Structure 1
C-alpha cells in the first residue's frame, strides 16, 4: 500500500503542486480544501489521490476528515499544512474578526493536525510534518497586521511541536517562502515584474518534498526558499 500524505490548502498554486509532487513520489495524497470542483479535478488527474472537501478552520470537520483517512489508510507518512489565511491592512484598518479567522487557519488547524496525526506517526515508526510559511512569520510590517501575527505564532508552534516529537521520530520543518508565488493573480498584480521576481509553485513543492525525505542524521527545522534575484 502506498504511504499516505495529507496536504491542506490544496489550491491552484502551491497546494496543487505539493499534491502532484507527493503523488510523483509514490504517495497516496489526501487533498484538503474548501473548493470541491478543484479537488475533484485533481483527484481525476492524480492516481490514488483523494479529494477531501474540508474547512480546516472548523475543528470538528478537520477531525472527522483526518480520522476517516487514518481509519482507512493508517498513519500518514507525511503531513503538509499549506492552508493559509491572510489579510492585508494596518492594525487600525483590519477587522479584528479577520485576524481571529486567520489564527484559526494558520495556528489552530496546525495544532489540531499535529494532535491528530503525530501520535500515529510515532507509533508507526516515524513521519514528517511540514508547514509552509512566509517572511511574515519573521517580521511584522505595517500593512501585514491582519495575518503576520498568526504566521509568527504558527512558526513558534511548529518549533514547539518539533522539539517534542522530533526525538520520537517525527520530523517537523517550517519552510519560509520569501517570494511572490507565480500564480495568475500575482502576475496580474505585478504586471511589469520580470520572471525572476516570482517563485514557481513546483519548485516550492520540490523543497517541501525534500524536507519530508531528509535522513534522520540531518534534519532541518527552519528552511527558506527565494528567487535568486530576491533582495533579502
Structure 2
C-alpha cells in the first residue's frame, strides 16, 4: 500500500499544489477542505487522491473525517496543516468572533490533527507533521489583529509538539512563508507588481516535500521561504 499524506485546506493554490506534489511522489493523498466540489474535481485528475469534505474548525467533524481516512488508507506518513482562517482589521474594528473562529482553524484544528496523527505515526515508525505559516506568526501588525495572534499561537503549539514528538521519531516543522502567494486575488490586489513579487504555490509545495523527507540527522523545525526580491 502506498504511504498516506493528509493535507488540510486544499484550496486552488498552495493546498492543491501540495496535493499534486505528494501524489507525484507516490503517495495516496487525503484532501480536506469545506468545498466538496473543488475536492472532487481534483480527485478526478489524481487517481490516488481522495476527497474528504470537512470543516476543520468543527472537532467532531474533523475526527470523523480522520477516522474515515484511516479506515480507507491506514495511518498517515505525512500530515500537512495548510487550512487557514484569516482577517484584515485592527483590534478596534475586528469582530472578536472572527479572532475566535480563526483560532479554531489555525490552532485548535492543529491540536486535534496532531493528537490524532502523531501517535499513529510513532506507532508506524515515524512520520512528519508540517504546518504552513507566515510572518504573522512573528509580528503583530495593526491590521492583522484578527489573524496574527492565532498564527503566533500556532507556531508555539507546533514547537511544543516538535519537542514532544521529535525524540519519538515524528518530525514536526513550521514553514514560514514570507510572501504574497501567487493567487488570483493577490494578483488583483497587486496589479502593479512584477512576477518576481509573488511566491508560486508549486515552489511552496516543493519545500513542504523537502521538509517531509529530511534525514533524521538534520531535521529543521522553523523553515523560512520568500521570493528572491522580497524585502525583509
| TM-score normalized with structure 1 length | 0.99
1:48 shift after superposition: 1.2
Match of 2:6 in 1: 6
**Do the aligned partners of 1:34 and 1:54 also contact (CA within 8 Å) in 2?**
yes
1:68 shift after superposition: 1.6
Instruction: Tell whether 2:21 aligns with 1:21.
Output: yes
- CA deviations on 1:80-120 (whole Å, 9 max, x unpaired) are 00000000000001000000000000000000000111101
- CA deviations on 1:174-205 (whole Å, 9 max, x unpaired) are 00000000011100110000111100000000
Match of 2:33 in 1: 33
- SS of equivalent residue, structure 1 residue 5: strand
Match of 1:131 in 2: 131
**Do the aligned partners of 1:132 and 1:176 also contact (CA within 8 Å) in 2?**
yes
- CA deviations on 1:134-175 (whole Å, 9 max, x unpaired) are 000000000100110000000000000000011000000000
| TM-score normalized with structure 2 length | 0.99
Distance 1:116 1:86 in 2: 24
In structure 2, the gaps of 5 or more residues are: none
Match of 1:143 in 2: 143
**Do the aligned partners of 1:67 and 1:116 also contact (CA within 8 Å) in 2?**
no
Aligned length: 232
- SS of equivalent residue, structure 1 residue 85: coil
Distance 2:225 2:180 in 1: 11
- SS of equivalent residue, structure 1 residue 91: coil
Match of 2:162 in 1: 162
Instruction: Tell whether 2:51 aligns with 1:46.
Output: no
In structure 1, the gaps of 5 or more residues are: none
Match of 1:119 in 2: 119
Alignment of 1:58-69 (within 5 A): 58-69=58-69
1:71 shift after superposition: 2.4
Distance 1:49 1:22 in 2: 9
C-alpha root-mean-square deviation of aligned residues, in Å? Answer: 0.5
Distance 1:198 1:147 in 2: 21
Moved over 3 A (4+): none
Distance 1:189 1:74 in 2: 42
1:131 shift after superposition: 0.1
Alignment of 1:173-188 (within 5 A): 173-188=173-188
Distance 2:195 2:99 in 1: 32
- CA deviations on 1:27-49 (whole Å, 9 max, x unpaired) are 00000000111100100011211
1:57 shift after superposition: 0.2
Match of 1:231 in 2: 231
1:67 shift after superposition: 1.2
